[in-house]
Structure 1
Amino acid sequence: MSTRRDFIRTSAGVGVGAAFGALPKPLEAKAPNIISRRVTPVCVASGNGLGAVSRAIEELANGASTIEAVVRGVNLVEEDPNDSSVGYGGLPNEQGVVQLDSSLMHGPTRGAGAVAALEGFKRPSLVALDVMRYTDHHLLVGEGAQRFAVSMGHQLEDLLTESSRARWIEWRARLSDRDDYLSPEESGERIGPFREPEEFGDGLLDSHDGYRPQGTINCDIVDSDGDLSSVTTTSGLSYKIPGRVGDSPIIGAGQYCDNDVGAAGSTGRGEAVIKTCGSYTVVEMMRSGMHPTDACLEALRRIVHVTVEDRLRDENGRPNFNVNYYAVNKNGDWGGAAIWSGARFAVSVNGDSRHEDSAYLFERG
């Protein structure tokens, strides 16, 4: 039996139909047309990565994934005993022990891996890659990272070369005139110039505090499908307090990759990059539409803004250290920038691997 409520409900429906006609059927959702656009593969790296970008692009052409390509690229520098900033032959901490850091991200899988304060393995990027591939973790440190590396079959070895050991011995001898170590002049065993000006001037190394070099290699890549990866690897600040970790193994600081946007990485004063989430900031600036170069410059301005300690500023209130950023976006645009002029970075595109001058905020006097 119909009730008054049923009558009202039915009448209301009829009224709506009469007023507006029959209600239309909902439209079936259709997927948007996807326009496929090939990207020219590009690889960028810090100034010491000219060989790395060439090798990375070559690896891509031979079928390697983006993460395999950049790792194999930086392996060249990690294995080079003449590069005192990364891997084998890297300058040690204050106790004469080489401690290495590395992190990486693979855009297509959103994977990430990192190691910090790793001793005894000249290719920390490969250990970081194993962390990404074979564990549920993103960062392993110290003794735990070392044991993991051994378990994965990496070879434990002495990372000091004759040159890096000699430079550490000279540094230790100059620490104080109140200890029992003889200075090079007193012992007659002077090794050579304590600071290599040509390395600083070429933009390959930066000074953390005016005389201690710190160097790193960052490498970022995009392939023809627009897939991205990034890696950063370093021996860190020379003669550092044991256990000190800079930005290189910190995901979002030393490097960051978002496959929807781009990849970026850094070298220079790690503490400044950590404090501003540097590489993540660069990628977010690219997400907002900035060109990679402009994104790098904006992230550097943030460092300048938060550097308020007198000990870290010159007489004009500007940072007395340097930071460099490198970036590539999903469309194949690329760029690099530094706080101070004189820095360079490496790029490989269209079969041409070369150095480019970095954009900068301040001109060196």
Structure 2
Amino acid sequence: MLTRRKTLIGAAALAAPVWALAQQRGAARVVSTWDFGVGANQAAWKVLGSRGAALDAVEQGARWAEGELCNATVGRCGYPDREGYLTLDASIMDGDGRCGSVAALEDIRHPISVARRVMEKTPHVMLVGAGAQQFALEQGFAREALLTDAARKAWREWKLESRYQPKMNVERLSTSRPGDSANHDTLGLLAIDSQGRLAGACTTSGMAWKLRGRVGDSPIIGAGLYVDNEAGAATASGVGEEMIRNAASFLVVEMMRQGKSPQEACVAALERIVHKREAASKQLQVCLLAMNKHGEVGACALHHGFTYALCDHDQDRRLLEAPSVYPKS
């Protein structure tokens, strides 16, 4: 007999849009998390549309979000930690297993490109904090103050109460207060190019008002991002601690390797999160986006409100809402 939880998760799997399974062999495609993924996809498509590499495409999409977008959760307009410091995290991964990341990086506009330099210029995978900044400067990146006046104002307002209460999808609510953590909106991108190569990128400013030194899932390979040409790619958004606890993106890719569709893999990974921490799962958001080696796409979230953008040769601006495990309240 199915439990109510199993029934909800099964419904989420069935709610996947049928079109997401259609993909012409040899055709390029890019998908990104959240509404601003539309703009990131457009930047990535400039590479994919001219038969460029998926790795170059996801870097360009992430750079657009870091430099052109002004959003409280990604890049130069991100909200700071509770001490008033804006720190940026990013990771990039190629389908051949190469990867790089940076965490708690300050005063560098494009952490995604620094992450790629870590991948290509060092024997390491991750650099953090002052060391990451030093490496970026040595690689020719410019140091600049990134904290905006609006973000500084929001931080000062938050300090009046110092109230920390993360809420699901609060960035979509016009009634949110400075104390609400509006920063679980990571930009994650996944792409397949005309040669069938996969790549992914993930970039964020992390949770607003986080403890100094807190790092979420975005720069952690296997948690916020994982890519394997032989199986597929996955990225995550939401409360990063849950993705770290469950190695969520790696889990989704491994389930695709075992034969599950991207949609089935996302749902199965969420099922594991609910099984392990059912009470907590009702209060936090976890969003998963996946693409397999054939370019098929799937997405699911614990709660209603997760959107993702898709761009391919048929239609270059497409925004969809993912199904959720728990119904809309």
- TM-score normalised by L of structure 1: 0.77
Q: In the alignment, is the contact (CA less than 8 A) between 2:88 and 2:206 conserved in 1?
A: yes
Quote the offset at 1:123 in angstroms.
1.1
2:132 counterpart of 1:145 = yes
Q: In the alignment, is the contact (CA less than 8 A) between 1:80 and 1:89 conserved in 2?
A: no
Match of 1:161 among 148, 154, 168: 148
The 1-side partners of 2:173 and 2:46 are apart by 29
2:286 counterpart of 1:323 = yes
Q: In the alignment, is the contact (CA less than 8 A) between 1:201 and 1:342 conserved in 2?
A: no
Aligned position for 1:76: 64
Q: In the alignment, is the contact (CA less than 8 A) between 1:297 and 1:359 conserved in 2?
A: no
Deviations 1:218-266 (A, max 9, x none): 0000112211000101000101001100000100000000011111100
1:221 maps to amino acid = A
Match of 1:356 among 311, 317, 320: 320
Quote the offset at 1:42 in angstroms.
1.2
1:200 maps to amino acid = R
2:41 maps to amino acid = V
Aligned position for 1:134: 121
Percentage identity across paired residues of the two chains: 38
The 2-side partners of 1:122 and 1:299 are apart by 33
Q: In the alignment, is the contact (CA less than 8 A) between 1:81 and 1:161 conserved in 2?
A: no
Q: Structure 1: 5+ residue runs without aligned partners?
A: 1-36, 177-194, 313-317
Greater shift in the superposed pair: 76-85 or 217-226: 76-85
* Aligned partner of residue 266 in structure 1, secondary structure: strand
The 2-side partners of 1:198 and 1:244 are apart by 20
Aligned position for 1:53: 41
Number of positions where the alignment pairs a residue of Structure 1 with one of Structure 2? 298
The 1-side partners of 2:220 and 2:77 are apart by 23
The 2-side partners of 1:269 and 1:263 are apart by 20
The 2-side partners of 1:63 and 1:158 are apart by 36
Aligned position for 1:98: 86
Quote the offset at 1:211 in angstroms.
2.4
Quote the offset at 1:332 in angstroms.
1.2
* Aligned partner of residue 127 in structure 1, secondary structure: helix
* Aligned partner of residue 76 in structure 2, secondary structure: coil
* Aligned partner of residue 359 in structure 1, secondary structure: coil
2:309 counterpart of 1:346 = yes
Quote the offset at 1:80 in angstroms.
3.2
Match of 2:242 among 272, 280, 291: 272
2:182 counterpart of 1:213 = yes
Q: Structure 2: 5+ residue runs without aligned partners?
A: 1-23
* Aligned partner of residue 340 in structure 1, secondary structure: coil
Task: Quote the RMSD (CA, aligned, Å).
Answer: 2.2
Aligned position for 1:291: 261
Deviations 1:103-140 (A, max 9, x none): 111114x2100001111112110100000010010000
The 2-side partners of 1:197 and 1:105 are apart by 27
Aligned position for 2:28: 41
- TM-score normalised by L of structure 2: 0.86
Q: In the alignment, is the contact (CA less than 8 A) between 1:81 and 1:90 conserved in 2?
A: no
Q: In the alignment, is the contact (CA less than 8 A) between 1:38 and 1:225 conserved in 2?
A: no
2:219 maps to amino acid = P
